[in-house]
Structure 1
Amino acid sequence: MHVADHLPLDELRARADAEGDKRLFLRLRAVYLAAAGLTAPEVAAALGPSRRAIRRWVARYNAEGPDALGDRPRPGQPTLLREPDVDRFRARLEAGPTPADGVCTLRGRDVRAILRAEFGVAYSMPGVYPPLHRLGYSCLDPRPRHPRSDPAAREEFEKKSPD
């Protein structure tokens, strides 16, 4: 299998070893092994992907160089929340519930209502969670606290109550 000499063999190996992205590491390693003289079936046996994938990665490397081995855009439905609104949405979530929300902590259905009312996008209940995960939020929330709760009284109660 012919491998173009975009990078010297030792630099290709060093670049693969230094790569943190697992997919890109695998592709760079496959190109390195092919450049070292292994055939596509041998590289596939050593690394695990199919021979066809190995040939495709080597062809991309030959045509465009090592930068072409990164992930390409995948097909799929684009997100409904537009890029300019993402920071505003994050700030809204960080601010917590408002009195108009009528809740003491935001749940999925509350986030769904906020997205519809303030951002003009309609998500289904299961569809609310992927945008939250992309922003780094999880479904686990701390226990809600009532807005009129007294932290000093709670601390005093915890001191007096038995273990």
Structure 2
Amino acid sequence: MTEARLDEVKRAMRETNDKRLYERYLCISLLLSGYSRKNITEILGRGLDTIGIYIQDYCTSGLEELNMEHSPGRPALHTPEQEQVLYRTLVEKTPVDVGFPAKMNWTSGIVRKWIKNEFQVEYSERGTRELLYRLGFALLDLPTRWPKLILSSRKYSNKNSKW
């Protein structure tokens, strides 16, 4: 029985082009070949918890369970309610309305500071831009007299804009 399972895993390893999936298959292959979980963690360079998840998924549902559609990534730093508050604030107010000095347009830097002040959550510049993009905003590069990037709703922005 173990030989048949091992053959199935090795066949799957040969057929996949996905590096992450290959690593999961390799984990199961090593387990079925008699390696301990501790040895597998050393070979793959993954934590015991990660290896345990791979093994549990395989034991529960077979090879299919190891195939992830996408990486879930890091959990969101904010709640859906906070996201709605952010969206409404950006659409309905200017930076001056929420306490920033004499700024008529939202920049990713101002949004980042507002999020930190309002929700006590700190985003990187890139993380802020990605959040804004997910909310439906685009960053527009303006002429040199306005060197900062300004937010604009994608539905109203120029289709030929850089973003």
Q: Given the two structures, how large is their TM-score scaled by the length of structure 2?
A: 0.45
Which of structures 1 and 2 has the larger relative contact order (alpha carbons within 8 angstroms, sep 6+)? 1
Q: Given the two structures, how large is their TM-score scaled by the length of structure 1?
A: 0.45
Rg: which structure is higher?
1
- Structure having the larger proportion of residues in strand: 2
